[in-house]
Amino acid sequence: MRTIKIFLASSAELNADKEQVELFISRKNKDFNKKRLFLELSTWKDFISAMTEEHSQEKYNQYIRSCDIALFLFHTQLGRFTKAEFDTAHLAFLNSTGHFKKPLIYTFFMNDKNETTEISDFRSYIDSMDHFYDTYNSPEDLFVKLNRQLDKLENQGAIKGEAIDTPKIIKYAVYYFLLPLLVLGGAILAWYYYQPGNLTVRVKEVRSIPGLSFQEGTIILTYGDKTETLKIKEEVIFKQIPSKYKRESLKLSFAAPGYQKMDTLINLGNLMVLPIKRDNSLGIIFGSVHDEENLPVQDVSISVKDLQTKTDANGTFRINIPIEKQAEEQRLTAYKPGYQVWDFSGVPSQTIEWKIMLLKLTK
């Protein structure tokens, strides 16, 4: 933020106008704030009144010589020190070097038909210096003219906001934000990588069958030369896995009766959901039908629920049970006219044959 120092001087009769100027500068600062520019207005009230008159006036003069703008208001009287303050500002302006000399002096006389000789003489004094002055009729009129002068100074570059120092901002961001953030991030990563980890494994059936829910299985985790085996019903937790395996693949195996075996590679994390599927071990019933003389019986109707088939010339049959109709036990009926109905419940199997003997009906 760049500060433009403004000194305001007038006789006591214009104290009300000075207060209005202070309000005007305050409102102007609201606009200038967006441009990183601040107008610092000082009057006699801003200096220590407890000092002696000589020292106090010298304090004013020092400030006048250091300020950027000197603003003088006159009406019917000259202030006790106002002419001296004007001369101080004018001398400082003449001795100033640089592209924009300072302080820039703006003098305003409030119009009055009964202008005093003192004010007339002072106007002539200013004219002799080739210094331009202006007049105003009211505070509002003064503000319009002040605003116009400030706009001109801004357009000419005499007053401008502080440029954004991009290299300084970048340097500040690197030293006070980025570097601490990198250090903190490195510490967190180091803590994470050297902290033993836990792995939670949860099983979830891809397609559940009513009455045939998952009961229990085995989970095997292999990393390095170590193997851990746990029984699982819903989820298990492998604890205190060394941190070095966070950057390696771990082997996870699953096995359970009636389910497809699974071997997969995983990365160590907090949770692993393992999708499990039933195998088709309960999806087949096969066998043969013979009579009392152990002869194969053809065209025997075989029924399992609403599934039906018939035996072939060798008396053999096979029924494929869809996944949604599978169960750990199935009821099978075998029927052929002239024979007794055979009814039995058993476990489906892909390897064990059902052997059925039909008894002929006696007359």
pLDDT in tens, the chain (363 residues): 889 999 998 888 888 998 899 999 999 889 888 888 899 998 877 765 544 455 566 777 888 888 999 999 999 888 777 888 888 899 999 888 877 888 999 999 999 888 888 889 998 998 888 888 999 999 999 999 999 999 898 888 888 777 666 677 777 777 788 888 888 888 777 676 678 889 999 999 988 888 888 999 999 999 989 999 999 999 999 999 988 888 889 999 999 999 999 999 998 887 899 999 999 999 999 999 999 999 999 999 999 999 999 999 999 999 999 988 999 999 999 999 999 999 999 999 999 999 999 999 986
CA distance 214 to 203: 9
Q: What is the pLDDT of residue 297?
A: 97
Q: What is the pLDDT of residue 221?
A: 95
Tokens of 64: 């006048």
Phi and psi for 294 in degrees, rounded to 5?
A: 65, 30
Give the list of residues 6+ apart from residue 141 with CB closer than 8 angstroms, or none.
none
Q: Are 328 and 347 in contact (CB under 8 A)?
A: yes
Kind and range of the H or E run holding 226:
strand 226-232
Distances (CA, A) of 46 to 50, 60, 73, 143, 242: 12, 10, 17, 22, 71
Q: What is the pLDDT of residue 305?
A: 92
Kind and range of the H or E run holding 255:
strand 249-255
Q: What is the pLDDT of residue 55?
A: 52
Q: 86-95 long-range CB contacts below 8 Å, 24 or more apart?
A: 86/9, 86/126, 88/61, 88/64, 89/7, 89/64, 89/65, 90/129, 90/131, 92/64, 92/65
Kind and range of the H or E run holding 82:
helix 82-95
Q: What is the pLDDT of residue 56?
A: 63
DSSP symbol at 359: P
Kind and range of the H or E run holding 318:
strand 316-320
Position 138: which residue type? S
pTM (two decimals): 0.46
Phi and psi for 348 in degrees, rounded to 5?
A: -60, 150
Kind and range of the H or E run holding 254:
strand 249-255
Q: What is the pLDDT of residue 312?
A: 97
